[in-house]
Structure 1
Amino acid sequence: MKKELIRLLCRKSFKYTETPSFKLVSGRMSRFYVNCKPTTLCARGMFLTGHLIFEAMRDSGATAVGGLTFGADPIAMATAFASELKGQPVNAFSIRKTQKDHGIVKWVEGDVAPGEKVVVIDDVATTGGSTIKAIERARAEGLTVVRAIILVDRQEGGMENIRKHVTDATAIITRDELVDCWKNEPGVA
C-alpha cells in the first residue's frame, strides 16, 4: 500500500525542480512542492491513506484521530472509515483554525470528549507548526494526545519540532521517498 501511495502522491501531489521554484508559507523558496489534497481526496488515495494511518495508530490506545482543518480532515475521515472496516473503530475529529464564536465555543469538532486518548495527524510537515497548533488545541479541549502521525515529512525539521510536544511522532512517507520515486519510476513525473 505504501509504495502505491507514494506513486499516487508523485502523480497528483508532488512537484520537484533542481532549483528552488516553489514559495512556501514561510516565504522561502523550495525545490519541493507537496499538496496532498488531490491525493487524499481521490477515492484510491483516501483508501490507501486511511489504511496506512490506521495501521500506524492501531497500537496507540487512541479512540479518535484528527487534526487541523483542512489538511487533516480527509485523512481523519478515511482513517475512521478504515478502522471500522478492520473492526476496531476510532472516531474522526477536526480542529478549527479559528475558534467558534457562537453556540458552544470550542476548538474541536467531532465525537470526542475530554480525557480521551487521540492521535493528531497532518498531511505535510515542514516546520511542524500546524501540527503543533493542533496538539495544543486538542490539549486545550482536554484531549490526551498520545501520538502524532504525518502523511508526508518534508524532512526540514518538522518531525523534530513535533517530538518536542509529542514524543511518539512518526511519518508515513518522507520527501526522500517521493524524490526517489519522482526520479526513478517511469510515468509518475
Structure 2
Amino acid sequence: MTNDPRKARLAELVKELAVIHEKVTLASGLESDFYVDMRRATLHHEAAPLIGHVMLDLLEDNGLAPDDFDAVGGLTMGADPVATAILHAAASRGLSTDAFVVRKAAKDHGMKRQIEGPSVEGRRVIVLEDTSTTGGSPLEAAAALEAAGAIIEAVAVVVDRDTGAKERIEVAGYKYLFALGLSDIGLA
C-alpha cells in the first residue's frame, strides 16, 4: 500500500467509515455492489485533516507545488469538505491556498454566481472530488471554472473507483490524480 503513515491511516479510516457493501445506484447511473460514502470520512474529525494533508502531498508529489496553484474546489457537495480540508492543511503549513465552491447552476438571486468564494478569474486551480466514478462531476466543475476564467492545473480526487474517470478526464485534457485506489481501501 504505502509507507506514508498519514495516507495509510486515511485508507484505514475510509475503509472503516465510508465503504458500504450493498447494491447501490451511483450518481453516474451505474450499479455497484459497494458504495464509498466519502462524506462519512470528509466530515470526520480525524479523517478530514488527514485528507487535507494527503491531498497536498499528492499534488506536490505530482509536480504541483503550492506555488503552482492558487485555489482548490469543485462541484458541490462532494468537493466542498475536501477543499476545506486542503485550505486548512495549507494554512497549517504557512501556505496561501483559497477554496471555492462550484454550484450546479448559478443562483437566480443575490450575486447570481455559480462559483462561490474568492474570484477564480485568471487563477490556477485544482478541481477536486471526494470519489469519482465516471468523472462527470469534475468535468462539470471544470467547464464552469473555465467559463469563469480559471486555469485548471489538475483534477484530484480522494478515492478513484477505477471505472473510467481517469481516462475520461485525461481525454478532456486534464491531469488526473487520486490519493487512494480500490486496493488501498480493500476493494480490489
* Same fold? TM cut 0.5: yes
Structure-2 change in CA distance of 1:180 and 1:70 (3 Å):
closer
Q: Identity of aligned pairs, percent?
A: 32
Does 2:183 correspond to 1:176? yes
Q: Which residue does the alignment assign to 1:122?
A: 129
Please report the RMSD computed on the Cα atoms of aligned residues, expressed in angstroms.
Answer: 1.6
Deviation at 1:31, TM superposition (A): 1.9
The total of aligned residue pairs comes to: 178
Distance 2:173 2:38 in 1: 23
Could you tell me which residue of structure 2 aligns to residue 94 of structure 1? Answer: 101
SS at match of 1:2: helix
Does structure 2 retain, via aligned residues, the 8 Å contact 1:147–1:166? no
Shift in Å, 1:180: 5.3
User: What is the CA-CA distance between 1:164 and the residue it aligns to?
Assistant: 2.0
Unaligned ranges ≥5, structure 2: 1-5
Partner of residue 52, structure 1: 54
In structure 1, the gaps of 5 or more residues are 182-189
Would the aligned equivalents of 1:146 and 1:166 in 2 still touch at CA under 8 Å? no
Check whether the contact 2:169–2:175 (CA below 8 A) recurs between aligned residues: no
Tell me what 1:13 maps to: 18
Give the alignment of 1:16-95 within 5 angstroms.
16=21, 21-58=23-60, 59-60=63-64, 61-95=68-102
TM-score (norm 2): 0.88
Residue 177 of structure 1 deviates from its aligned partner by: 1.9
In 1, Cα distance between equivalents of 2:116 and 2:172: 22
With 166-175 and 60-69 compared, the bigger mean Cα shift is at: 166-175
- 1:16–1:179 contact (8 Å) kept in structure 2: no
Structure-to-structure mapping, 1:143-182, within 5 angstroms: 143-179=150-186
Length-normalised TM-score, structure 1: 0.88
Q: Distance in 2 between matches of 1:28 and 1:78?
A: 29
